[in-house]
């Protein structure tokens, strides 16, 4: 496969992440290639478990595993989650995004009377487990959409349309990259668009990030720090970050 072929395959995946489904006829027109080339790209992407071919087009691969990942900094992530949990108040309309730290917050929401909105299958699973134990009695609203099998979240236009109905009291978020110059970045287009929408519709945005996520730049930009209320991390605020955060009046909370 030539480099341009790999670039075309990546564009196909990005379009599916954004739109939920693409038609073969549309791909032929967008990429200006033959139908045979499109069929070959879709076959290769399906073999790579990145998409699933359906009649007339393709959707994201839907094979979802709930097997836990190996996390190298679980102690720091738990401290971050506990610090964030303490900021959650009763009767909030709370958004919880994807990521291990937000999942840990969800697993701690005992005794809170809340409405929680999430696109994350793992967050929803943690909340339902708490409800089954009788320690969480709030409402759980799982946003419907196309499943991103890598991050176990729903993405796409359907999610974005649902989000328009909300103004969140608090959003608990995580991203794959946090950089003083570039801001917040994700490694999937669908994640970036959902996170962008949430940040513009939340009164407070809490970014949960451990030390491994800083000074990282991923493929898709989410935002600068202007819509971030507070960063909660497992290490004290670095001196070389103070200026960038002060410019946007972002609070840094160290989770001891």
Average pLDDT over residues 232-251: 93
Which residue from 55, 53, 31 is spatially nearest to 43, judged by alpha carbons?
Answer: 53
Which residue from 169, 103, 113 is spatially nearest to 136, judged by alpha carbons?
Answer: 113
Question: By three-state DSSP, how is residue 11 classified?
Answer: helix
Q: What is the pTM of this model?
A: 0.74
- Sequence-ordered list of residues with C-beta below 8 angstroms from that of 133, at least 6 positions apart, any chain: none
Token pair 């499109």: residue: 38
Per-residue pLDDT at 123 exceeds 50: yes
The pLDDT value recorded for residue 65 is 45
- Sequence-ordered list of residues with C-beta below 8 angstroms from that of 163, at least 6 positions apart, any chain: 143, 194, 197, 198, 201
Which residue from 237, 130, 241, 224 is spatially nearest to 185, judged by alpha carbons?
Answer: 224
Per-residue pLDDT at 222 exceeds 70: yes
- Answer whether 118's CB lies under 8 Å from 95's CB: yes
| pLDDT confidence band for 11 (50 / 70 / 90) | confident
- Answer whether 77's CB lies under 8 Å from 101's CB: yes
Instruction: Show the tokens assigned to 196.
Output: 């962008």
Can you give the length of the chain in residues?
A: 256
Quick: pLDDT tens for 36-68: 999 999 998 888 777 888 888 998 765 444 544
**Is the CA virtual torsion 213, 221, 172, 60 positive or negative?**
negative
The pLDDT value recorded for residue 63 is 44
Per-residue pLDDT at 122 exceeds 90: yes
Q: In DSSP terms, which residues pair with 146 in a beta bridge?
A: 155
Token pair 């839907």: residue: 62
In order of their start, the domains of the chain are 3-60 (1.10.10.10), 74-254 (3.40.50.10470)
Kindly state the DSSP code that residue 213 receives in the 8-state scheme.
G
Question: By three-state DSSP, how is residue 47 classified?
Answer: helix
The DSSP code sequence of 113-182 is --EEEESBHHHHHHHHHHHHTTS--SEEEEPPSEEETTTTEEESHHHHHHHTT--BSEEEE--SEEETTT
């Amino acid at each position: 496969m030539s480099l341009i072929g790999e670039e075309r395959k990546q564009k196909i995946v990005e379009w599916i992440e954004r739109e939920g489904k693409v038609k073969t006829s549309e791909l032929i027109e967008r990429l200006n290639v033959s139908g045979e080339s499109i069929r070959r790209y879709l076959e290769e992407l399906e073999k790579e478990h990145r998409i699933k071919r359906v009649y007339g087009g393709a959707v994201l691969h839907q094979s979802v595993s709930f097997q836990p990942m190996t996390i190298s900094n679980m102690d720091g992530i738990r401290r971050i989650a506990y610090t964030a949990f303490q900021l959650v108040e009763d009767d909030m309309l709370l958004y919880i995004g994807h990521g291990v730290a937000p999942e840990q917050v969800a697993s701690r929401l005992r005794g809170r009377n809340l409405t929680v909105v999430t696109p994350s299958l793992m967050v929803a699973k943690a909340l339902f487990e708490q409800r089954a134990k009788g320690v969480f009695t709030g409402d759980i609203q799982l946003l419907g959409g196309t499943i991103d099998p890598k991050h176990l979240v729903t993405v796409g236009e359907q999610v974005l349309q649902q989000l328009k109905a909300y103004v969140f009291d608090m959003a608990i978020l995580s991203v794959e990259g946090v950089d003083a110059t570039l801001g917040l970045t994700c490694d999937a287009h669908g994640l970036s668009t959902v996170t962008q929408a949430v940040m513009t519709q939340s009164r407070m945005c809490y970014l949960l990030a451990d030390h491994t996520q800083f000074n990282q730049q991923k493929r898709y930009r989410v935002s600068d720090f202007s819509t971030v209320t507070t960063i909660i991390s497992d290490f004290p605020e670095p001196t070389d970050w103070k200026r960038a955060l002060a410019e946007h009046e972002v609070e840094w909370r160290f989770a001891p």
